[in-house]
Amino acid sequence: MTRYEKGALAAVVLMLVAAGFIFLYAPTDALQGPVQRIFYLHVSSAIAAYGCFAVVLIGGVAYLWKENVAADRLARAGALVGLVFTTVTLVMGMIWAKPIWGTYWTWDARLTSTLVLWIIYAGYLMIRRLADPGRQAARFAAVVGIFGFIDVPVVHFSVTWWRTVHPGPVVINDALPPQMLIAFFVTMACTLFLAAVMIGIRYRIEVLTDQAAERVVPATIVAPTEAGSAR
């Protein structure tokens, strides 16, 4: 069993533990009923997405500063994993919104800014694919990652800056009963661990992709001479 398989296994076990806390330990919400249990993973994956995009920001700045390829790979991994967690946040939020607000989507400040966040990092992955691989793609992506991160505090503070239907921060405002709070922190810790494992695995894939790309170039130069010497 490799390091990565162990990490993945641990993440799966921890997510099951979190599911146990969400469905067995946490009490059912008096007003909203069972659908409120979406809260734990919805908020946790939003926080995980913030963390991933912070990795993209730090990786991008480090790359522009020192031209460190490892920093760029970390940023690449962070963007993809962050996009996955943003998708989870949006989809779970929509499922939650339907019974509570009566609609899957409303043009609320927090929903809109989260959607914009998704689009920004989808653009980040697009420029990675379309720019020349290597220095150019890394530099351009770093710039997009730095500008894109501006939207993270906008998403976070959108509920206090604008009038929204989306609830404000309930955790730091101490608006939850202790059992819900414990279930939330357990889920958040497990989700953050999952995000870290995903970034680690993705980082390894990026290393292997880079190595494969480096190997292709000499192979095409070497192959004809080998064929020539064999003849």
Partner 1 sequence: MRSVAVALAVARKDLTSEWRTRELVPALAQFVVLALVIANFGFQIDSRNAPAIAPGVLWMALVFAGLVAFGRAFAAEREQSSLEALLMTPASPAAIFAGKALAAALLLVLCEAVLLPALALFFSVPLSFDVVSAVLLATVGMAVLGCLFAAMVARVRARELLLPLLTLPLWIPFIVFGGQAVQAAMGGGGGTGNTSGLLIDLDILFVVLTSLVARFVLDD
- Residues interacting with partner 1, by CB under 8 A? 64, 116, 119-120, 122-123, 126-127, 130-132, 135-136, 139-140, 142-144, 146-148, 150-151, 154
Output 17 or 154, the one with its CB closest to partner 1: 154
Minimum Å gap between C-beta 105 and partner 1 is 17
- The encoded tokens of residue 115 equal 């959607």
Minimum Å gap between C-beta 12 and partner 1 is 34
Minimum Å gap between C-beta 95 and partner 1 is 25
Minimum Å gap between C-beta 112 and partner 1 is 8
Output 95 or 119, the one with its CB closest to partner 1: 119
Output 11 or 111, the one with its CB closest to partner 1: 111
Output 150 or 222, the one with its CB closest to partner 1: 150
Output 83 or 183, the one with its CB closest to partner 1: 83
Minimum Å gap between C-beta 43 and partner 1 is 23
